[in-house]
Amino acid sequence: MADGWYDITPAGDDPWESIAPGPRLAQLLADVDPDHLTDSARVAYLKATSRLVGWAHVRQARALVAVADAVESATSPGPGMTSSHQASWVADEVAAALHVAARTATVKVNDATALLRDWPVLGAEVSAGRLTPAQARVIYEGVSVLSGHVDESGADLSERAVLGLVRTARRLPPARLRERVARVVASLDPEAAARRRQSAERDRTDVSLWAEDDGMACLAARGPAPDAVALRELIAARAELMREQADESDERTAGQWRYAAMLAAFGLTPVGKAAVSVTGEDRSVDGSTDVKPSTPIVDPVRIQIRVTVPLDTLFGLTETPGELEGYGPLDPELVRALAADADWIRWVTDDVTGVLLDEGSRRFPGARLARFLRAREPHCKHPSCGVRSSKADADHLPPYAEGGRTRAADMSPTCPRHNRLREESRWQAREEGPRDPLGPPDPVWTSPLGRTYQTLTPQVLASDFIPRRM
């Protein structure tokens, strides 16, 4: 999705747009039939119900904490004493009341404690409708690793992180917010981030298999993010080569081709499928149902692992995290290690660099400009879309037919669905107000129901609350 966006639709006359979440708003919404509202008012009504859900979520959190306190008091071995079994007794009480598993009950109580006692500012934001429960959960789950760690002044690092993140979290969907939280956590305590990564590599790296329905199984590999991203890119590239050289009658899906490419690397062929060679040699097609070895792919496939890192982090002057495309933030120690063994591409929006930023009247950008656009903006430009820019079109804004030029300032990555079907979907994108002549398009999007959303100019390394540790 876009890095973030605001709903800038002018407020209407409906009272639920300005009433704070609570019993009054609940009664007001209950008395209104949304089917009888105008198109835009229906969206405003929907947003009001979301704010009310947040308020109710915090009310339930207060009830959960109160029940937990009561159980702990009732089961205490004596004044001021606790038992190691009390947490399970709390879970039993909540699970029986809510008809959930004890483990689910424990999660609910822990979430409630995080909102109300560990980081109460998050509970206040959710109750007021300024954050959704999902946004708050992303924050407190992410910063929990900092709890108990203090800075030079004695301030708790997790509280510093929460106070900074609250200012920007409102405009971010959970997926983008999770990346932002990870950057902040790694920046506030880079040494601990490196230790957690090293521990995770040792304890969690593995290959697992579990059964699924309908004769399927899942083989999962977990390991360091750069390795996993490189493997995925290699599998995708080899799958494309196999698909191109397969018989025209082979109707396997993209997923099936990726699976075949992975097996081919180990000399195997999917059960009941034809073996496909990408070496140019004549090979027989094996259509039997036995798993038989096929010749492994030996043609080299060139892949790129794209890591963006601030120059001052590279030189060890600061500890701002880097960014691995297709994954997210990486701690400074790891990005410096990756940079020591990498080929570099320099992207600078300046006339003297030689990087191609304007291709005049061409309809489609050349390879260099297309790579630059995707490096500058990591996701589809549409507010609600999470498609990576590596899978997106280079879209003209304004449209090419309306005078849009094939240059960096007039183009952004937009996924095929939101680019080619924009007219049918009735979404519209237009520029409003002054803009950076060297920056990306920064359009206002209008939905089919008339709501307007301002997307934020994307930042490759969004560091609106990342302290520069020297």
For 79-95, the pLDDT digits (tens) are 777 778 889 999 999 99
Q: Average pLDDT, stretch 418-428?
A: 83
- Residue 322 parent element (H or E): strand 322-324
Contact 418, 389 (CB under 8 A): no
User: Minimal CA–CA distance to 369: which of 394, 388, 398?
Assistant: 394
> Which pLDDT score, from 0 to 100, does residue 443 have?
83
> How far is 189 from 151, CA to CA, in rounded Å?
9
pLDDT of residue 165: 92
Please provide the DSSP assignment of 244-296 as one string. Answer: HHS-TT----HHHHHHHHHHHTTT---TTS----SSS-------SSS----PP
Q: Is the pLDDT of residue 302 over 60?
A: no
Amino acid at the residue 20? A
Check residue 177 and give left, alpha or beta (phi > 0: left; psi -120 to 50: alpha): alpha
pLDDT at 451: 92
pLDDT of residue 386: 78
Contact 431, 444 (CB under 8 A): yes
Per the DSSP assignment, residues forming a β-bridge with 428 are 446
Q: Which residues contact 125 (CB under 8 A, 6 or more apart)?
A: 131, 136, 166
Q: What are phi and psi of 2, to 5 degrees?
A: -55, 160
Residue 289, pLDDT > 50, answer no
pLDDT at 362: 62
pLDDT at 3 over 50: yes
What does pLDDT average to over the chain?
Answer: 83
The pair phi, psi for residue 412, each rounded to 5°, is: -145, 150
Predicted confidence at residue 161, as pLDDT, reads 93
Q: What are the backbone dihedrals phi and psi of residue 308, each rounded to the nearest 5 degrees, phi first? A: -105, 130
Q: What is the pLDDT confidence band of residue 416, given thresholds at 50, 70 and 90?
A: confident
pLDDT at 388 over 70: yes
- Show the tokens assigned to 259: 């699976």
Greater confidence, 62 or 319?
62
pLDDT band at 429, cuts 50/70/90? confident
Q: Which residues contact 224 (CB under 8 A, 6 or more apart)?
A: 197, 201, 205
Question: For the segment 21-36, what is each residue's pLDDT rounded down to a tens digit?
Answer: 999 999 999 999 999 9
What pLDDT is recorded for position 371?
77
**Lowest mean pLDDT across 222-226, 274-278, 302-306:** 302-306
Q: What is the C-alpha separation between 73 and 90, in angstroms, rounded? A: 11
Mean pLDDT value across residues 251-260: 93
pLDDT in tens, 310-367: 777 887 878 888 888 777 888 888 888 887 776 665 544 333 343 445 555 566 777 7
Confidence at residue 360, expressed as pLDDT on a 0 to 100 scale:
55
Q: What is the mean pLDDT of residues 270-293?
A: 53
Q: Are 404 and 425 in contact (CB under 8 A)?
A: no
pLDDT band of 259, cuts 50, 70, 90: very high
Of the chain, the percentage scoring pLDDT greater than 90 comes to 40
Task: Identify the pLDDT of residue 304.
Answer: 66
- 235: which residues sit within 8 A by CB, 6+ positions away? 258, 261, 262, 265
pTM for this entry: 0.76
pLDDT at res. 425 = 87
DSSP 20: P
Quote the Cα angle for 429-433-439, to 5°. 75
Structure tokens at 25: 């708003």
pLDDT of residue 213: 92
